[in-house]
């Protein structure tokens, strides 16, 4: 069984990403920067109504407008539009301005249908049914043990409600692609996608052409977070418009408004939770009725209870349908929601029991929860990982400075600390291939149809090859982001590295073996005596020639090996914890983050620099969820009120605190092989912030985000209650 | 955006002529508000008159004891001005955090004063009052950022200018030039409460250009304080500017102007009365803050603003008196 080098030269070091300078300097072209010769500009017409039927659509005027090269209707007469932003038609024109004017010249008659856009309105008895079966689909309650009996025997019971709103992905680069018909059965598309392969498949399927004739290119891209796995309606429309325009490329990228409306979102989550425990900190029961909305499509369920072992549990989830843009996977789907509800309840129970919530968390870990080792055997206790991580995080945040809830002094400025635990899978899949080619000129190329969504995927493949061949990272050409290459992993679920590192390792190892066999033959040395290091070929440990000279010994034919997955190099299943230190001004409700600590394991870390960058990114995404983000829907008009980057709030530089990233990089973790780290570090940030704010102000702020409105409302509600009591 | 004619005058006279010669012409300066409104089809003028080529519009000059600030002066220049920092801290403090550095490098005093409301109903194309079928969408909708005063009417948006707040507190005047000549009015007279969707919240007439604001000689103390959710690129939730004409330790006359609570910059006569003849202490500032919100009638989702306004008024008064108690911890 293959295994990673025990004393790696490059793996695990902090290595700058190989395309970093090209990205930072603007030299490299993102898909939305591409303007192949003859490019036409595409613009989508989308629904101005939250719920309507198209009774007629007339494109005649639009088609006659200056510069217009094609109009494609998606929502024909009779089609139902289910949200503000739903797709109606697309236009391609010589300039973006002409396309925008033409879109406005499409005449659409609507029959306006009644709408509901908020969870609250959707479940009212007299609410219009926007799906025939009703706006609320209640799942079956899942019960283990006897919660009611446990409540009776408990030393403390907390009943509370917690919620978080729908948020959107807000990818820096919008969704879209530029499509060009190269001939009557071939398409090239420059796509901002997390999956070049799936996007090619979708385009091929839509136009019934061989998938091998579709080339989807994603050299780099500006973020997807789970929302960019296919061609999408607008991408298919671009290809159709290109066909209409005789194959001229059509560039179709959403504008920021459409990004918010139609580009996907993380469902809302709300929970009524009853949780009980014993004086010693054992959590004995939790009952939760939860709900959420993923728009008209569903998908709001989330894991609950989360992380902890609780004997008596009952949980029932209701899916609520509204006239809103559909949910898409968003960085750790479901986990941030489950985490913030669970961890708020844990904190509230600890407060009622009068014990340190950190200790209570450690006491209720799930010792039956085993994650796999590199051989796929469930031998590693996740609880054990938490027990190592939590004290590290506590030390880094200064947990000893934390005071019990509400004991933070008399002045208006309150300091608070909070924490939360999370978990994720993140294993690899075994279906991918990597080709490693060593050419007689000394160049080394890796090829595979995965893509780098900003995580460093390109760089880690080069690191693996350089490690095995005794070269520097810059000596390796890491060729990805092309759907015609050997099949590669879609970048989702923290699966890319554990899926792609093993085939890369295998391909490069086999290529090296073949290389040494052939070079050995050429120079009359036993291949077993040959090794590669420091850019040189060694015979019995002594350098005899440079890498380039050795490659010349290959003659005319280089070495090219395509290999797949193998056990022993990757696994899945991580723990992780985060801590927040905040200051809250209780007279304004303004929350200031002082510091966030993230302690994260993810097996063998291939590049410490890009790994840390992913954790920073996860924490920043998480703090946006905790403090700022909210899709605001207007009940009256049914429109999203903040489809922008002004009133849809996101942290700016001065909102981002010191972030301390601690890699839980132990020998035991390294032995597990490669595990992805995309999702885990974004899961528990919001939960930790919510708990820190609550610790600071002395009352539970039960609605996310931790905005002045929600903080002041929680304080007011508590003081009104106190006044009445 | 819709196609438009473009004019690039170099004198005020030419600019006025350009504007009056069009049906729905608008003046463009920094463009940080107008361009986004045009892109969103909220404003679709037939002519855009670019004012940055009109050199006399920019610059800060001393007048009899006070200052004259050209409407084309960029916010970054207001912030950097030493006289403003020294004599009119209320203005500097309210300007410091407007938008982002990029916005402050482009945006002008005139543009800040005459920007249109940031109300998300208005910006969504639902009209200045956000009405549908004769009913207010705002009143039954998400009004978390809307008014808590004058809420009996239909204009529920809040007046958006951070600079109007201190300028009114400081008793500044605005000079407008139109076809019929020049007129000078108090800055507060730039604003009105629209009664119908066809009314505007600005009193500037078609064809008029705001040329400058003039702040009279400073008296006593002045300060601004604002609360905002984000530290970077955000609007104040509530901002208060105070100008206190002092008689020794006591307030002879004070002006208290609040942003974020009404469709016009809100002058709180109740707070002004509460501090008259008193020294500014924690107690008197708190009493004035209570008085300031006594008549507040919040909407369904912005009750939190009442308490917030109290805090902001209290802190603006105390800041003027040199007490920044909230920074102690």
pLDDT digits (tens, 9 = 90+) for B17-27: 999 989 999 99
Q: In chain A, which residues touch B (CB < 8 A)?
A: 100-101, 257, 409, 411-413, 415, 583, 585, 587-590, 592, 627-628, 632-637, 639, 641-642, 644, 646-647, 649, 651-655, 707-709, 712-713, 716
**Residue A250 exposed, middle or buried by CB count within 10 Å (0-12, 13-18, 19+):** buried
| A568 touches A3 (CB < 8 A) | yes
Which of helix, strand or coil describes residue A391? helix
Question: What confidence score (pLDDT) does residue A246 get?
Answer: 97
Domain(s) labelled CATH 3.30.43.10 in chain B stretch across: 1-55
d(Cα A382, Cα A669) in Å, to the nearest integer?
Answer: 11
Question: What confidence score (pLDDT) does residue B65 get?
Answer: 86
Q: A719: distance to nearest CA of chain B, Å?
A: 13
Give the Å distances, CA to CA, from A574 to A377, B253, B294: 14, 65, 54
**Which fold does the domain B56-215 belong to in CATH?**
3.30.465
Look up residue A715 and give its DSSP letter. Answer: H
Domains of chain A: 20-28+428-563 (3.30.365.10), 34-114+175-253 (3.90.1170.50), 265-426+571-724 (3.30.365.10)
What tokens were used for A6?
Answer: 């025990």
Query: Which chain B residues are Cβ-neighbours of A415 within 8 angstroms?
Result: 329
What's the alpha-carbon Rg for chain B, to the nearest Å?
A: 19
Query: Which chain A residues are Cβ-neighbours of B2 within 8 angstroms?
Result: 101
Q: State the CB neighbour count (10 A cutoff) for residue A285.
A: 24
Q: State the CB neighbour count (10 A cutoff) for residue B208.
A: 20
Chain center to CA of A330? 5
Look up residue A365 and give its DSSP letter. Answer: B
For chains A and B, what is the number of CB pairs under 8 angstroms?
105
Residue-wise burial string across B185-195, b where 16 or more C-beta atoms lie within 10 A, e elsewhere:
eebbebbeebe
What are B32-65's pLDDT values in tens digits?
Answer: 999 999 999 999 999 999 999 999 999 999 998 8
| A663 touches A600 (CB < 8 A) | yes
d(Cα A34, Cα A17) in Å, to the nearest integer?
Answer: 22
Q: What are A479's strand-pairing partners?
A: A447
Query: Which chain A residues are Cβ-neighbours of B307 within 8 angstroms?
Result: 587, 712, 716
Q: Give one DSSP letter per residue of A49-111, joined into a string.
A: SSSEEEEEEE-HHHHTSTTEEEEEESS-TTPEE-STT-EEEEEEESSHHHHHHHHHT-EEEEE
| A262 touches A270 (CB < 8 A) | no
d(Cα A672, Cα A604) in Å, to the nearest integer?
Answer: 7
Give the phi and the psi of residue A13 in degrees, each rounded to 5: -80, 170
Find which of B124, B137, B236 to mutate to test the A interface (most A CBs within 10 Å of its CB). B124
Domain(s) labelled CATH 3.30.390.50 in chain B stretch across: 221-323
Which of helix, strand or coil describes residue A318? strand
Query: Which chain A residues are Cβ-neighbours of B233 within 8 angstroms?
Result: 646, 652
d(Cα A134, Cα A321) in Å, to the nearest integer?
Answer: 8
Report, as ranges of residue numbers, the positions in chain A whose pLDDT lies below 50.
none
Q: A654: distance to nearest CA of chain B, Å?
A: 6
The helices-and-strands tally (H runs, E runs) of chain A is 19, 31
Q: A573: left (phi > 0), else alpha (psi -120 to 50), else beta?
A: left
Torsion sign, CA atoms A205, A209, A212, A214: negative
What tokens were used for A355?
Answer: 């014990």
CB contact under 8 A, B132 and A713: no
Query: Which chain B residues are Cβ-neighbours of A657 within 8 angstroms?
Result: none
Place of tokens 């809302």: A268
| A435 touches A447 (CB < 8 A) | yes
Query: Which chain A residues are Cβ-neighbours of B134 within 8 angstroms?
Result: none
Cis before A305? omega within 30: yes
d(Cα A657, Cα B327) in Å, to the nearest integer?
Answer: 18
pLDDT tens track, chain B, 329 positions? 899 999 999 999 999 999 998 999 999 999 999 999 999 999 999 999 999 999 999 999 999 889 999 999 999 999 999 999 999 999 999 999 999 999 999 999 999 999 999 999 999 999 999 999 999 999 999 999 999 999 999 999 999 999 999 999 999 999 999 999 999 999 999 999 999 989 999 999 999 999 999 999 998 999 999 999 999 999 999 999 999 999 999 999 999 999 999 999 999 999 999 999 999 999 999 999 999 999 999 999 999 999 999 999 999 999 999 999 999 65
CB contact under 8 A, A635 and B141: yes
The reported pTM is: 0.97
Which of helix, strand or coil describes residue A708? helix
Place of tokens 């796999």: A372
CB contact under 8 A, B132 and A634: no
Give the phi and the psi of residue A152 in degrees, each rounded to 5: -65, -35
**3-class DSSP string for chain B:** CCCCEEECCCCHHHHHHHHHCCCCCEEECCCCCHHHHHHCCCCCCCEEEECCCCHHHCCEEECCCCEEEECCCEHHHHHHCHHHHHHCHHHHHHHHCCCCHHHHHHCEHHHHHHCCCCCHHHHCCCCCCCEECCEEHHHHCCCCCCCCCCCCCCCCCCCCCCCHHHHHHCCCEEEEEECCEEEEEEHHHHECCCCCCCCCCECCCCCCEEEEEEECCCCCEEEEEEECCCCCCCCCCEEEEEEEEEECCEEEEEEEEEECCCCCCEECHHHHHHHCCCECCHHHHHHHHHHHHCCCCCCCCCCHHHHHHHHHHHHHHHHHCCCCHHHCC
Domain(s) labelled CATH 3.30.465.10 in chain B stretch across: 56-215
What are A629-645's pLDDT values in tens digits?
Answer: 999 999 999 999 999 99
Structurally, what CATH architecture does the domain formed by B221-323 represent? 2-Layer Sandwich (3.30)
Angle at A504 between CA A499 and CA A505, to 5 degrees: 105
Which of helix, strand or coil describes residue A304? coil
- Could you tell me which CATH number the domain at B1-55 has? 3.30.43.10
| A392 touches A459 (CB < 8 A) | no
Cis before A655? omega within 30: no
Among A169, A43, A177, smallest CA distance to A98 is for: A43
Give the phi and the psi of residue A284 in degrees, each rounded to 5: -100, -25
Find which of A656, A708, A716 to mutate to test the B interface (most B CBs within 10 Å of its CB). A708
Question: What confidence score (pLDDT) does residue B125 get?
Answer: 95
Q: Name the H helices within A224-314.
A: 232-244, 256-262
Task: Report yes or no for ipTM above 0.90.
Answer: yes
Question: What confidence score (pLDDT) does residue A1 get?
Answer: 80
């Amino acid at each position: 069984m293959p295994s990673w080098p025990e004393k790696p030269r490059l793996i695990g070091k902090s290595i700058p990403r190989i395309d970093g300078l090209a990205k930072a300097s603007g030299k490299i072209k993102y898909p939305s920067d591409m303007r192949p010769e003859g490019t036409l500009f595409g613009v989508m017409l989308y629904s101005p109504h939250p719920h309507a039927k198209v009774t007629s659509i007339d494109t005649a005027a639009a088609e006659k407008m200056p510069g217009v090269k094609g109009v494609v209707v998606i929502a024909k007469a009779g089609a139902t539009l289910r949200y503000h932003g739903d797709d109606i038609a697309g236009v391609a024109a010589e300039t973006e301005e002409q396309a925008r004017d033409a879109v406005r010249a499409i005449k659409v008659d609507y029959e306006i249908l009644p709408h509901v856009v908020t969870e609250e309105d959707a479940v009212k008895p007299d609410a219009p049914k926007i799906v025939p079966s009703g706006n609320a689909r209640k799942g079956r309650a899942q019960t283990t043990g006897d919660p009611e009996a446990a409540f009776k025997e408990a030393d403390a019971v907390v009943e509370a409600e917690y919620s978080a709103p729908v948020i959107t992905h807000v990818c820096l680069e919008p969704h879209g692609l530029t499509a060009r018909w190269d001939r009557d059965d071939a398409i090239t598309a420059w796509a901002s996608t997390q999956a070049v392969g799936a996007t090619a498949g979708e385009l091929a399927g839509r136009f019934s052409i061989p998938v091998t004739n579709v080339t989807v290119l994603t050299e780099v891209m500006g973020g997807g977070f789970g929302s960019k796995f296919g061609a999408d309606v607008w991408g298919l429309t671009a290809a159709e418009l290109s066909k209409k325009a005789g194959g001229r490329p059509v560039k179709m990228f959403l504008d920021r408004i459409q990004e918010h409306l139609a580009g996907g979102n993380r469902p809302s989550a709300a929970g009524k939770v009853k949780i009980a425990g014993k004086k010693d900190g054992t959590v004995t029961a939790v009952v939760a009725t939860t709900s959420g909305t993923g728009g008209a499509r569903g998908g709001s369920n989330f894991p609950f209870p989360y992380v902890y072992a609780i004997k008596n549990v009952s949980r029932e989830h209701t899916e609520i349908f509204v006239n809103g843009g559909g949910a898409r996977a968003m960085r750790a789907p479901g986990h941030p929601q489950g985490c913030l509800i669970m961890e708020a309840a844990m904190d509230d129970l600890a407060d009622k029991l009068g014990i340190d919530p950190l200790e209570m968390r450690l006491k209720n870990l799930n010792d039956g929860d085993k994650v796999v080792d590199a051989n796929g055997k469930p031998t590693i206790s996740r609880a054990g990982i938490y027990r190592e991580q939590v004290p590290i995080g506590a030390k880094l945040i200064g947990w000893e400075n934390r005071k019990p809830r509400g004991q933070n002094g008399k002045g208006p400025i309150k300091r608070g600390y909070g924490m939360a635990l999370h978990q994720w899978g993140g294993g690899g899949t075994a279906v991918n291939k990597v080709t490693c080619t060593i050419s007689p000129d000394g160049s080394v190329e890796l090829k595979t149809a995965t893509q780098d969504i900003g995580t460093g995927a390109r760089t880690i493949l080069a690191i693996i090859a350089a490690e095995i061949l005794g070269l520097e990272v810059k000596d390796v050409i890491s060729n990805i982001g092309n759907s015609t290459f050997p099949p590669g992993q879609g970048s989702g679920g923290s699966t890319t590295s554990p899926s792609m590192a093993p085939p890369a390792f295998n391909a490069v190892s086999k290529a090296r073996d073949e290389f040494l066999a052939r070079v050995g033959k050429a120079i009359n040395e036993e291949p077993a005596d040959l090794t590669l290091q420091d850019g040189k070929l060694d015979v019995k440990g002594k350098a005899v020639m440079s890498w380039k000279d050795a490659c010349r010994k290959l003659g005319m034919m280089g070495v090219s090996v395509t290999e797949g997955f193998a056990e022993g190099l990757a696994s899945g299943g991580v723990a992780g914890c985060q801590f927040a230190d905040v200051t809250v001004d209780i007279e304004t409700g303004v929350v200031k983050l002082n510091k966030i600590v993230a302690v994260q394991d993810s097996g063998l870390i291939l590049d410490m620099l890009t790994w840390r960058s992913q954790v920073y990114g996860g924490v920043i995404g998480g703090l946006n969820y905790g403090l700022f983000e909210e899709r605001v829907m207007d009940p009256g008009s049914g429109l999203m009120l903040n489809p922008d980057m002004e009133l849809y709030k996101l942290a700016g530089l001065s909102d981002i605190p010191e972030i301390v990233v601690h890699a839980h990089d132990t020998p035991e973790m390294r032995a597990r092989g490669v595990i992805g780290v995309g999702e885990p570090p974004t899961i528990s940030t919001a939960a930790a912030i919510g708990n820190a704010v609550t610790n600071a102000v002395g009352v539970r702020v039960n609605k996310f985000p931790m905005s002045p409105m929600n903080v002041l409302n929680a304080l007011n509600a508590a003081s009104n209650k106190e006044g009445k009591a | 955006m819709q196609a438009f004619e473009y004019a690039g005058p170099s004198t005020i006279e030419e600019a006025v002529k350009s504007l009056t010669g069009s049906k729905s012409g608008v003046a463009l300066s920094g463009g940080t508000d107008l361009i986004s409104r045009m892109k969103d089809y909220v404003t679709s003028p037939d002519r855009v008159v670019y004012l940055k080529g009109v050199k006399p519009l920019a610059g800060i000059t001393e007048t009899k004891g006070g200052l004259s600030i050209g409407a084309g002066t960029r916010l970054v220049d207001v912030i950097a001005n030493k006289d403003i920092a020294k004599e009119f801290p209320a203005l500097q403090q309210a300007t410091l955090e407007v938008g982002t550095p990029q916005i402050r490098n482009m945006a002008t005093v005139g543009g800040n004063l005459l920007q249109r409301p940031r109300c998300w109903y208005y910006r969504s194309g639902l009209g200045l009052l956000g009405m549908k079928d004769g009913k207010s969408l705002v009143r039954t909708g998400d009004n978390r950022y809307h008014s808590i005063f004058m809420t009996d009417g239909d204009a529920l948006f809040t007046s958006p200018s951070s600079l109007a707040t201190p300028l009114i507190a400081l008793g500044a005047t605005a000079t407008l030039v139109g076809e019929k000549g020049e007129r000078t009015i108090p800055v507060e007279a730039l604003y009105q409460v629209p009664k119908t969707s066809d009314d505007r919240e600005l009193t500037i007439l078609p064809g008029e250009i705001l040329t400058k604001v003039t702040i009279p000689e400073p008296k006593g103390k002045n300060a601004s304080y604002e609360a905002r959710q984000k530290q970077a690129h955000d609007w104040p939730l509530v901002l208060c500017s105070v100008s206190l004409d002092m008689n020794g330790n006591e307030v002879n006359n004070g002006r208290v102007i609040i942003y974020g609570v009404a469709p016009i910059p809100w002058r709180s006569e109740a707070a002004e009365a509460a501090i008259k003849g008193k020294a500014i202490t924690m107690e008197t500032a708190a009493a004035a803050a209570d008085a300031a919100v006594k008549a507040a009638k919040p909407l369904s989702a912005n009750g939190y603003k009442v308490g917030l306004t109290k805090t902001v008024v209290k802190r603006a008064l105390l800041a003027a008196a040199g007490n920044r108690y909230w920074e102690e911890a």
